[in-house]
Each structure stands twice: as structure tokens, then as C-alpha cells.
């Protein structure tokens, strides 16, 4: 368990949270309060669950210059994915894993 004083829910640090979450997802722009709160914790890594969360956490990990660990669950973690243009979520996830993941094979 992570101690409560070491965990942050970023959506609570910006108002309106939906607007900032959308801006982050679309542009990678990190709200200054999010960044400051994370820097104050001095994290050693970011752990994301599932592929999409890993894709979304990547800009934070880059900005903080810390490793990103992604745990994959479900069918897409163990099956071969056939990509086409209409599968942008999977394309992003697969690109993230194949080209940036150091321990996935």
C-alpha cells in the first residue's frame, strides 16, 4: 500500500478537472500544480496500470525524467495485435510498448 501522503490524485489539484484532463490528454500540457505536486514528492518512478494509462503517463515521466513502468493486464497483453489506421488507441499503445519499452518482448 502506498501511504496516503505519497499518493496524488491529479484531477483534484486543478479546476475544472475535466478541462485540464482533456488538455493533458490532447496536448500533453501538464498543469503547473500537477507538476509541482509531483516534484515535491520526488518520485523515483511512475507505475501505470494498463496500456492506455502508460501512454497517458509518458509525458509526466519524461518531464520528471524518471522511469515509467506499465503493467499490462487482459487479452492485449498476451495476444498478437493486428493494427490498422482505425485503431489509434492500440497503435499508440503498441508503439509505446515496442519502441520505448525496454523489458517487453
Reported as a single tens digit per residue, the pLDDT across 14-66 is 777 788 888 888 888 888 888 998 899 898 988 888 877 888 888 889 999 99
Q: What confidence tier does 100 reach under pLDDT thresholds 50, 70, 90? A: low
Q: Cβ(68)–Cβ(45) under 8 Å?
A: yes
What is the enclosing helix (H) or strand (E) of 35? helix 32-41
CA gap 74, 51 in Å, rounded: 10
pTM of the model: 0.65
Residue with cell 496524488: 8
Please give the DSSP secondary-structure letter assigned to residue 13.
Answer: G
Reported as a single tens digit per residue, the pLDDT across 56-69 is 888 889 999 999 98
Amino acid at each position: 500500500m502506498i501511504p496516503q501522503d505519497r499518493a496524488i490524485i491529479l484531477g483534484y489539484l486543478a479546476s475544472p478537472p475535466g478541462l485540464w484532463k482533456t488538455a493533458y490528454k490532447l496536448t500533453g500540457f501538464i498543469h503547473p500544480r500537477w507538476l509541482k505536486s509531483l516534484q515535491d514528492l520526488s518520485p523515483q518512478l511512475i507505475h501505470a496500470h494498463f496500456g492506455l494509462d502508460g501512454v497517458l503517463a509518458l509525458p509526466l515521466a519524461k518531464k520528471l525524467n524518471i522511469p515509467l513502468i506499465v503493467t499490462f493486464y487482459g487479452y492485449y497483453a498476451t495476444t498478437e495485435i493486428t493494427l490498422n489506421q482505425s485503431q489509434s488507441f492500440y497503435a499508440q499503445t503498441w508503439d509505446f510498448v515496442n519502441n520505448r519499452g525496454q523489458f517487453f518482448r
